Amino acid sequence: MTPPTANMVSVPIERLKKSLRAEASEEPPAPATGPVTRETQIIAIYGKGGIGKSFTLANLSYMMAQQGKKVLLIGCDPKSDTTSLLFGGKACPTIIETSSKKKLAGEQVAIGDVCFKRDGVFAMELGGPEVGRGCGGRGIIHGFETLEKLGFHEWGFDYVLLDFLGDVVCGGFGLPIARDMCQKVIVVGSNDLQSLYVANNVCSAVEYFRKLGGNVGVAGLVINKDDGTGEAQAFAAEAGIPVLAAIPANEEIRRKSANYEIIGRPESNWGPLFADLAQNVADAPPVRPKPLSQDGLLGLFKGESVGRNVVLQPATFEDMCGTSQVVKPSLEVVYDTV
């Protein structure tokens, strides 16, 4: 076999150089100027346990789907009750539970194992460990790792709604805010101190991570079980966030929700309320909130309701031990320094 000469080697190299020069001389295509075909809004919803996040999200996601949007609802509460209203009370297999069973069987988790749909709404539950058997926040992190393996970032939804506990400060529950995993946060509250305390905590977390370079903002407050006393509206005004909807304290709503009925249907009496909420959620920009101080939060309520007029009286040794304190001379030797 004849060994290649220097001339034979140089020919392909010259061809490659010409090809690269020709490619470099071509003008790049013009940037796209048309409308964006689909951009997923990932929205994390926070609130005190039992305040009505799951109720709000089930009806909101249902209304969005009826409006032609592709919606994914993800429950991030260890109770795994976010999707129960959507599925008529039926429990949804959780990602953590399913992942454990599949791993023991040597199998891979598939989308159909953990994601289910009803009337255009796609939904799943991350789940969490049993009581005393693990960290709920770590369960959240594991759940999102599984979602990424399933192709979460390629699914092309219009909206992804994440249901998070707001009164748990464990790091895993702050994941969307800390890691910019969502564009905006919505808080659900009512006209009571505890739910607004949680809402204020969430605003504080958002502001904290914004100072560290984060980009997540608060889109607004949903007032659930609104009795018209006005504390939640006052909180929103002080915190600089809009009220996206006020869902009244209504017996029909309470009864239907208890029976796992969706009221956020276009044809229902409450359809217009949830249609407006869906539009407000879509349009509300993420803003930097102004968290209130503890005194500022208490100031939203009447003094007799929150004990604002109580004076703190320090306890004494006599109070604690039931006897007078005997002052004994110290046996400590103190040396003068030279």
- Let me know if 48 is a catalytic residue: yes
Q: Which of 163, 167, 184, 226 is catalytic?
A: 167
Closest to 93 in 3D by CA, of 71, 70, 109, 72: 109
- Let me know if 302 is a catalytic residue: no
- Let me know if 225 is a catalytic residue: no
Q: How far apart are CA 72 and CA 121, in angstroms?
A: 6
The DSSP string of 270-286 is THHHHHHHHHHHHHPPP
- Let me know if 276 is a catalytic residue: no
Question: 3-class DSSP state for residue 247?
Answer: strand
Q: Which of 53, 184, 225, 256 is catalytic?
A: 53
Q: Which of 69, 70, 79, 117 is catalytic?
A: 79
The DSSP string of 53-107 is HHHHHHHHHHHHHHTT--EEEEE-STT--TTTTTTTTPPPPBHHHHHHHHHHTT-
Q: How far apart are CA 195 and CA 167, in angstroms?
A: 9
Q: How far apart are CA 119 and CA 223, in angstroms?
A: 26
Closest to 187 in 3D by CA, of 218, 162, 214: 218
For residue 251, give both structure tokens: 């017996």
Strand order in the sheet with 71-75: 116-118, 121-125, 71-75, 159-165, 41-47, 184-189, 217-226, 243-248
Q: In sequence order, what are the beta bridge partners of 46?
A: 164, 187
The DSSP string of 107-158 is ----HHHH-EEETTEEEEE---PPTTSS-HHHHHHHHHHHHHHTTGGGS--S
Q: Which DSSP category does 314 fall into?
A: -
Which residues are the active-site residues? 48, 53, 79, 167
